[in-house]
Structures are given as structure tokens and as C-alpha cells.
A and B are shown apart, each in its own frame.
Chain A
Amino acid sequence: MDDLLAEFIAETREMLEASGGEIVAWEADPTDRARIDTIFRFVHTVKGNCGFFDFPRLAKLSHAAEDALADCRAGRREADAALVTAVLAIIDRIAAMVDAIEAGEEFPEGGDEALVAALDVSRETLPEDEPGQVKAGSNPPLHAPADTLLEQTGDSIAPARRAEAAAAQRTIRLPVELLDRVMSGVSDMVLARNDLAHRLRQAGNQPTIDGPFERLTAILTDVRDAITRMRMQRIETLFGVLPRLVRDLSAELGKQVMVDCDGGDVELDREMIETIRDPLTHLIRNAIDHGIEPPSARLAQGKREIGLLAIAARQSGNTIAIVISDDGRGLDEEKIAAKAIATGLITAAERAHMSRDKLLNLIFEPGFSTAETVSNVSGRGVGLDVVRQNLERVGGSIKVTSQPGRGTQFALQIPLTLSIIAGLTVETGGQRFAIPQSYVEEIVQASPAALEFTRMGEAALVTFRGNRIPCLMLAEVLALGEEADAARELTLVLLRLASGDLFALVVDRIHSHGDLVVKPLAPAVMKSGLYAGSTLLDDGQPVLLLDVTSIAAQHDLVSDGRARVLQPLEDETAATADAAPRAMLFTDCGGRRSAVRLELVQRIETTTTAALDRSGGQVRAVIDGVILPLVGLGDTPPPEGKLRLLRLGDGACELLHAVREVEDAVELTGALVAVPEDPLVEALTLVEGQPVALIDAHALFARHGAAPEPLGKRPRCVLPESEWARSILAPLVKAAGYEIVAEADPEAREAVTIMSEDTFEAAEALGRVPAGPVIRLRDHPEERRGAKSIYRYDREALIAALAAARTAGDPRP
């Protein structure tokens, strides 16, 4: 919602600036039709946009101005100086209000009526003297009349506020070509830096040069990031408005539709997003209006009442694939054929020889519309032919596939003139290749046996999460020879196509992943159909970007019609599995950035070092009266004081992981790269460009996990009967993990007993020394006669004694 509002403000302000010149020209000649049209469009747009938001005053003002200008356009009224003045006053008021909205302030009440009335006054009485209010003799400046009106309504502060707000957010528009030039300049700079780095390394350590060089590197990285962001926008900004659109449309049409957007993190040119906005909206309207049946019809056909509309975006080199699929009634082949013959697109003879696919794609021909009744929603004379035209204008394409009664899929392909994509670099046959990250579902490293790798004729299959997945060997795809070693571990990259199909690609090694600037390839190379472009690695080495869709198509792994909506029931469970795993990001005690899967994190705890116990190499800590194994402390003893802990649990066992700092919960969208060298690390991944070690929870629990000690098993302690013991000693003992029991309690037999020296002596004399360990306290700091007693305020010694007593009395090994 905030995004929408910011867009509204930016758009309004942009139009205000653009119409500035028009306003001046209009003032000079109020009857100029072209100017009236421009300003009419402005107030009309503002009025329209206001409808989305709750700005009744803005709507009212723009509506009044629009009415007046519409009268002029229709010739019902003459535009004159008075009207110009009144309209300008309204435009200024709109500007002031937009500033106030942006600043989040309340715009002063009142005054609107006077402005609106000024419009009507000028209409009815044409008061010739009104411009006379402007200081006589002066060449009337642009805003003088408007300001006069504003002053009349007691609102002279508005311009000042406007200047203030404008300073807060300033934007300029730049030609994209200029950005391209800057971008390639920065790319060249990065390569020059890398070359320099290489030479510096050869020359050995040179402290005087290394410092500034490091700084240069950091600056370059920043600049590159900034430039990259300049052009790109996540397709999310487009997807964000869709749920609302779908909701409104389905409500209007009496249908129930659930929308599922996937791939919102695909980035593309801002310009391109604008270009596909309308086609996409149109296709969605179409799907809801014509595709998805009313709930009763769906139920009658054994479908779920709620229709599913899925929109998925994938990036592949220089193209973005967007698939819009519904599980509605599908396209009616016969109806399309009849219509096409009726409108003369094809002849009956041609029809007889047409494949279903070809026939369906006739719906994009100009002048084609199958809806019998033109509905309010999708039939506004804008047909699918316009959608196709719009896409083709930017070099894109659209295709439709459909199964009767099961659904329709529209597949859009949109090019990117220049694109930066997140890519994964893999190695096969000693050569590196890049794969667009958006396809990568998962990276798996396992033995062929674990994956049930089987050869079925020429094809290969693996079993992963219970599904048989077709598997391609990249070395074979690229004819790089080298027979795969049957015993060796397989590194699989699971790729999901925009059509929803999943397949695995076997590579030798995973290298890294990062942002890649995709460059086009020469036609002779593109002809192979294997590559989508090339990119330069940081060391300046060119790397080929694989065209995943095309490779899959060459191996018949793409099933046009099999979109995700066709398995709605399986999808529900799959959807949760498909969601990016979430993890808790933290800095461990060694300063390394790590993450642990969020499902494992029970709580974040804070404890004191006093609650720690190191016995037998295993550190334990007491949290809420439960003793749990503590890991992650490292070799360095923790600093005295507070300690942050993550409490991890697998359902049965719990353990604590010491952290220096808890950062945030994040989505692990990056690829997980296995790290076989470190058994406690499941994988390395990237979070916001920084490497993060994902803790291997299985190894952790296998090594350290312990079922939590239930409350009843806590060591017990019997305290002396005194106010001091109850109020001062008891909290300390409890913090050390003990349960306080009364002496008479039968459980007290094994308990640690704390008693004063004197009491102990008395008990000893009477032969009634407690069975369990005893900690003797004395009242004076000085030790007496070498007795084993602790001064009652010697905290450290007391805690140590309690810990020692627990180890001694610990029922566990």
C-alpha cells in the first residue's frame, strides 16, 4: 500500500512538473485547446488515482476542475482568465495536498469550497475584475493569481511546506542508454581492478598500495551495486497489486479465485515492467472472466470451488518467461474454429488440417473475441491481439495452451535488453558454465545410490523426495565426453522451468554464485540452442550462460500443458515445501556469520555465565531450570556477564547454541553449497551477498542433543532454615539449576545440603550428617581451623561447589 501511495505521489508530482510549462502557456492564451487538453488530462488522472485511496478532498477538487475543463472542451463554456485562475488555484492546492500526504501530515481543513466556488463564479458571472486583484502593473507571474486565492482561504503556508517536502525526495529521469554506458563503464572498471589485483599479488605485499587498493575495491563494489539497482526492479512491484485485482474482479463476477504468484524476485528493467503491466492485467481479467467457471459449475465438474490462478516468472538469460495459468474450463476449440471461419481468418478446409495448438493461437489474431456477451470486465474492445502487439513491440512473444475442462496457460516471453541476473557457476569437464539462479530449485550432493540414480536406456532418472526426476548430465549435453564415475558422489542442480517441470542437471562441481551481467552471443553460437548469453567472471574469464529452457526442450523435458495448476491438491502440500527455507541469522562466538533453520529455533534466551557449567568437556547451561547442552562457545571462555543463546529443539531433544549476536530471520533464497570439510555445517549460502554457514542441525543433535531433563530430575538442595537462606541464598542456588526441597522431603536424601558450619558440627557430633554432599558455610571471611567451608558471600566458590556437587551427584554418566 505504501508503494502504491509513493507511486501516486511521484506520478502526481511528475505531472505537476511536466504541466508547469503548459500552465504558463495556457495562462497566456486561455482558449488554447491543446493546453486545456493537457491540463484536463492531469486533473482527470489525479481524480482517477484518488479513487484508489481515501482522499475525498483531492477527489472533490480535481473533479470540480475536471468538470469545468470538460465544459470548455465540449464548447459549453468559454475558457477565460478567471477560469484559468480558478483552475490554477486548484492545481496548486493539489500540489500542496500531495506534499502533505507525503509528509504524512494532516492538511489544514477548509478552503476547498472557496476554490470550487471560484470555478462556478467564473462560469456564471464572468467577473472581469477578478484578475485585478493581482497587483496592478505587474506582469502577472504564474502563481500570483493562485496565491491570491490561497491567501483568501487563509493558507499561505502551503508553498513553504511544499519546498520542504520536495527536498526530502528528489528524483530525476535519465535516458536508459546513459545508464547502460555508466554500467558498462563500471564493469570495465571492475575488470581493470581485478587485473590490478592480480598484478599486485604477483608483486607481493606492499602496505602502502594495499590500503588504498582495498578502499578502491570497496568503493567499486558499492558503485556497482548502486548502478545495478538503478535500472532493475523486482517483478514483485507488478505482482503486488494482483491479489487485490483478482479479489475485486472475482467478487464482481461472482467467482472464487485464489491467486498464486511465484518468482517475484525476478528483476527486470523498470521500463519492461511498465510494458508488461497492461498485457498481464488483461490476461488475468480474461482468465477470471472467461476461464474460471462459477463455483457451482466447478463443483459439478468435481473441481474445487475455488479457482486457482497461478502466475510464475522465471528468468533465462536475456528473456523472462511469465506463465499465467488457470484451472478453468479451458479454451473451446470448436468455438474458436467457428469464430475464426466466420470472421474469415481461416477457411473450413484450412481448419480441417489445423492442429489444436495452432488453432488456439488464433485468439491472438486481430479482431478475434469469443465471448458471446461483452462483459464489463474483459470485453472492452481491447482484444488479445493488442496484448500480443504490445509484447511483440518489445520483442516478446505469447503462446497459449489449453486442455478442455482443465485449464489454460498463457506463456509470455519477454526479452531484457541488458540484464543482470543472479547466476550459479558450475563446472563440468574442466569448464565453467553459469545457470540462472531463478531456475535453481535446490542443489543436492549425494551418492548415486542414495539418489537411486538409474539409467533407463539413454535417459537417466534420480529419485528425490520420493519423486522420480529426469536427469541430464551436463557433460553429455555439451558433448564434453568424460564418462561419469559410477561410484563418485553426484552433484545435482535441480532446475524448475517456468512450466513447472522439474529436472536435474548433473555437474562436476558448484563454484559460486553472484550477479552476472549477461552479454549477447554471436548468432553462430546462439544457433546451438544451448546458451542464452555469456558473462564475465570476476577474474575476467568469459563464461557461457546455459539456456535451461532450451536444453530441457531439446531433451523433451518440457510438457507444454503440464502446468502447476493441474495438480492443485498436491500443490498445496508442495507449496509449503517449495517456500524458501527460513533461517535465523546470527554471529557466532567466533565472529562467523551463521544461520540455523528457523523451525529448530524455539526461543532466544539470555543467561548469565553463572548458569554455565563445564564438566567433562561438555558445557551445559541452565535455562528455566532445565540443564541443556550448550554448543557454539568455542575455545575462548565467554566474557563474564550476559550470554545470548538460541534454544534449539528437534521435537524431542533440546540444546543451546551460544551466539554473539542474533541478527534476523531470513529466507534462504540463495543456493546451498555443501561443505563436506566441516561436519557441523550443512551448507554455505549467501544472504544479502554475504556468505553464511548453515548449521547442520542433524549433526548437531546427533552429537550433542539431549532430551531435556524434566523438572523432577533436577538436583535438589536443602537449605538452612533461615530468612537469609530463603531470600539471599535460594535464588543463587536456583540459578545454578537446583530445586530447593525441605529437609523432611523424602527426596532430600540424595540432595545437596547447605548448612552453616556450626550446624554441621552439631550434626556431626550427633551423627546425623546428611547422606548427600554437604556444602558448609561460615559467617566470616577468614577460614577457621582449616575446615572445608565457604564464606557465605563468596559467590564464585559457592557456585563452584554447587556445580561440583551436581557432577558428583549427577545420576547421568
Chain B
Amino acid sequence: MSELLVVIQIAGRRCALSAHDVKSVIELGAVTPVPRTPDFIAGIAALRSQTLTVIDCRRALGLPAAEGPTDDRAAVVASGGHAYALMVDAIEDITTAAGEPGQVPGGFGPEWSRIATGMIETMTGPALLIDLAALIAGPDGQRGEIEAAA
């Protein structure tokens, strides 16, 4: 499998997104905050005539917000018919997958396991392959689903 991957950094960890999901990488301009929404939603931003929902990936993992400066670029992804901009530590490179995603003994830790499909070997080293829908659902996403099912 030689799927193209976009390598990003979230909270200092190397992660990978399927290049198929990433529509573009933009310079993130002004972000309009959205009051009374979960804190992983940093706000909304405009991309041409489109509205992007800006996701703070650290917070979407349930981690504290970044203290240092993050990349001023954001990856634009589409999920469920809506466009999102992912605020990450850094957008590193585009690379090719060198194998299937797999698990590691002991897991990635609860926060990471929730949003990861598995570890994937790439041409530039191993990375955590991100499950986009789970990331966008936010830290309370799963709990919400359980509540909805109950």
C-alpha cells in the first residue's frame, strides 16, 4: 500500500492524515470564536466563501492547549460534508505509507487510542494514523454517542 500521507505534529507526536482527506493547507487567518461550544472548537474561519470549523487538535485529544506557538498553517479536511481546519503543532511533510496500520503492545494511551487507527510505517519513520471522524468528534464525542444510544 502506497497511500499518500500528510505528516503532522500534535502535542509533539508525529501523526499522519490520509492525503485523500486533506483538501488543502492554508494560512489560518482570523478565527471567530464560537461561544458556548466545546473548547476544542477554536472557532470558525473563512476559506473563500466557505466556512471552516477550526479544531484545536490538542484539545480535541483532551490535552491542555498549546503553550508555545503552533504552526500558523492548518490542514483543511472534509468530514461528513463539512469542512474543518485542524490546528496542529506543525505540518511536516507529505510521505508515502510503507505498510498497513498496526497496533503496538500496550496501546497508545486512552486519549490517543480513541483517535488513532493505528501506527503506520512511512518513508520518513513511524507515525500515528489519525481517525479523522473521531478526532473531530472531540473528547466528549464518544461519551455523547453512548448517551445518545442509551
Residues of A that sit less than 8 Å from B by CB = 184, 187-188, 190-191, 429, 431, 478-480, 517, 519-525, 527-528, 530-531, 534-536, 540-544
User: CA A527 – CA B84 in complex, angstroms?
Assistant: 16
Whether the pair B35, A534 counts as a contact (CB closer than 8 A) is: no
Tell me, yes or no, whether B33 is within 8 Å of chain A by CB.
yes
Q: How far is the CA of A82 from the CA of B144 in the complex (A)?
A: 72
Q: Are B34 and A531 in contact (CB under 8 A)?
A: yes
Residue of B nearest to A536 (CB): B46
Whether A524 and B48, one on each chain, are in contact in the complex, defined by CB atoms closer than 8 angstroms, is no
Chain A residue at minimum C-beta to C-beta distance from B138: A524
Shortest CB–CB separation between residue B109 and chain A, in angstroms? 23
Question: In whole angstroms, what is the CA distance A190 to B48 when docked?
Answer: 9
Segment of B49-57, B87-95, B112-120 engaged in the interface with chain A: B49-57
Chain A minimum-CB-distance residue to B140? A524
* B34/A541 in contact, CB under 8 A: no
Binding site for A on B (CB under 8 A): 30, 32-38, 41, 44-46, 48-51, 53, 80, 82, 84, 136-138, 141
Partner of B49, one of A479, A536, A543: A536
Question: Is B49 a contact partner of A528 (Cβ separation < 8 A)?
Answer: no
Q: With a 10 A CB-CB cut-off, give which of B44, B82, B136 has the most chain A CB atoms.
A: B44
List 8 A-B pairs, Cβ < 8 Å: A188-B49, A431-B32, A521-B53, A521-B82, A525-B44, A525-B53, A542-B44, A544-B44
A540 & B46 in contact (Cβ 8 Å cutoff): yes
B133 CB to nearest A CB, Å: 11
- Name the prevailing secondary structure of the B interface residues: mixed
Contacts of A540 in B (CB 8 A): 46
When A520-B82, A524-B38 are in contact, do A536 and B51 touch as well, CB less than 8 Å? yes
Distance A544 CA – B80 CA, assembled complex (angstroms): 20
Contacts of A524 on B, CB cut-off 8 Å? 37-38, 41, 53, 136-138, 141
- Which B residues lie within 8 Å of A190 (CB)? 49
Given contacts A523-B82, A524-B138, A525-B44, contact A479 B36 (CB under 8 A): yes
Q: Is the CB of A522 within 8 A of B32?
A: no
Cβ–Cβ contact A523 & B36, under 8 A: no
Give chain B residues whose Cβ lies under 8 Å from the Cβ of A478: 35-36
Residue of A nearest to B137 (CB): A524
Residues of A within 8 A of B49 (CB): 184, 187-188, 190-191, 517, 519, 536
Residue of B nearest to A184 (CB): B49
A525–B39 alpha-carbon span in the complex (Å): 11
A544 to B32 alpha-carbon distance, docked (Å): 9
Residue from A480, A519, A525, A528 having most chain B Cβ neighbours under 10 A:
A525
Least distance between A790 CB and chain B CB atoms (Å): 73
Question: Which B residues lie within 8 Å of A530 (CB)?
Answer: 35-36
**Which residues does chain B contribute within 8 Å of A542, judged by CB atoms?**
32, 44-46, 51
Asked whether A525 and B37 contact (CB < 8 A) given A519-B51, A520-B82, A544-B32, the answer is yes
- A479-B35, A542-B32 in contact; A522/B50 too (CB < 8 A)? no
Name the CB-closest residue of B to A478: B35
Question: Could you tell me the distance between the alpha carbons of A67 and B70 in the complex, rounded to whole angstroms?
Answer: 79
- Inter-chain CA distance A525–B36, complex, in Å, is 9
Q: Which A residues are in CB contact (< 8 Å) with B33? A: 431
| Contact in complex: B34, A191 (CB < 8 Å) | no
Residues of A within 8 A of B50 (CB): 519
Q: Do A522 and B82 touch (CB < 8 A)?
A: yes
* Whole-angstrom CA separation of A190 from B46 in the bound complex: 13
Q: Cα distance A528–B82 when bound, in Å?
A: 17
How far is the CB of B32 from the nearest CB of chain A, in Å? 5
Distance between A423 CB and nearest chain B CB, rounded to angstroms: 15
User: Do A523 and B80 touch across chains, with their CB atoms under 8 A apart?
Assistant: yes
Q: Given A191-B49, A429-B35, A521-B53, 5 other A-B contacts at CB below 8 A?
A: A478-B36, A480-B35, A524-B138, A525-B53, A542-B32
